[in-house]
């Protein structure tokens, strides 16, 4: 029986840049809006950063397949409903499900999540990683944004939002899959 090829492999889906900066008692998450298919930009203002939770106290950003990411965001929100004000526990419970559930294991996305106290990267490998230095970056331009944010975080007088915006601008100059149409949320 012939199986249709996975379009993400044949068309060359590429990603995004999500950056989370914890600095000066605040946390800011920024994401670019570019969506590409192969070498074509199909959308420039996608919303990849959003608030979730019953009181909108959790920032989330995603990289990867959009439908997969939305599935994970719904599951995370359900975990937060079950474990209110316990982001770490909700993330660990989601990661356990993601690793063991046959359907979830096939999802191709990564999440960056943060509340007023914690920031985490969640992966399909079951990882729940809390960053060193208060900076998380995921997606195709993530390494560029991460390096820029780490360099900028020690500049006197910059807020978490200013660090995030400047680092994202640097990433957009380097990564062709990242643009300057940003969604920025701060707690």
CATH number of the domain that residue 64 is part of: 3.60.20.10
In a domain, 185, yes or no: no
Q: Which one is catalytic: 10, 16, 71, 178?
A: 16
- Say if 183 falls within a structural domain: no
Is pLDDT larger for residue 144 or for residue 35? 144
pLDDT digits (tens, 9 = 90+) for 65-106: 787 888 888 999 999 999 999 999 999 999 888 877 666 666
Q: Is 16 a catalytic residue?
A: yes
In a domain, residue 182? The reply is no
CB contact set of 20 (below 8 Å; sequence gap of 6+): 27, 28, 29, 30, 59, 61, 112, 114, 119, 131, 135, 136, 137, 164
* The pTM of the whole model exceeds 0.85: yes
Domain extent, residue 46, equals: 7-169
pLDDT value for 38: 77
What pLDDT digit, counting tens, does each position of 19-77 carry? 999 999 999 999 999 888 878 888 888 899 999 988 999 999 998 878 788 888 899 99
Spatial distance between the Cα atoms of 49 and 33, rounded to a whole number of angstroms: 9
Residue 164 forms part of a structural domain: yes
Question: What is the count of structural domains for the chain?
Answer: 1
């Amino acid at each position: 029986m012939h199986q249709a090829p996975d379009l993400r492999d044949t068309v060359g889906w590429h990603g995004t840049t999500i950056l989370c900066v914890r600095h000066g008692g605040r946390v800011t998450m920024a994401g670019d809006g570019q969506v590409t298919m192969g070498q074509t930009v199909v959308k420039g203002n996608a919303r990849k950063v959003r608030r979730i939770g019953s009181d909108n106290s959790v920032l989330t950003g995603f990289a990867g397949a959009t439908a997969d990411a939305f599935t994970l965001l719904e599951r995370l929100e359900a975990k937060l409903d079950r474990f209110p004000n316990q982001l770490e526990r909700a993330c660990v419970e989601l990661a356990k499900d993601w690793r063991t559930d046959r359907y979830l294991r096939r999802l191709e996305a990564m999440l960056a999540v943060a509340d007023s106290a914690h920031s985490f990267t969640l992966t399909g490998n079951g990882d729940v990683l809390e960053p060193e230095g208060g900076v998380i970056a995921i997606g195709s331009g993530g390494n560029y944004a991460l390096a820029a944010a780490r360099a900028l975080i020690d500049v006197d007088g910059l807020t978490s939002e200013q660090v995030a915006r400047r680092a994202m601008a640097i990433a957009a100059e380097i990564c062709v899959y990242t643009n300057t149409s940003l969604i920025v949320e701060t707690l």
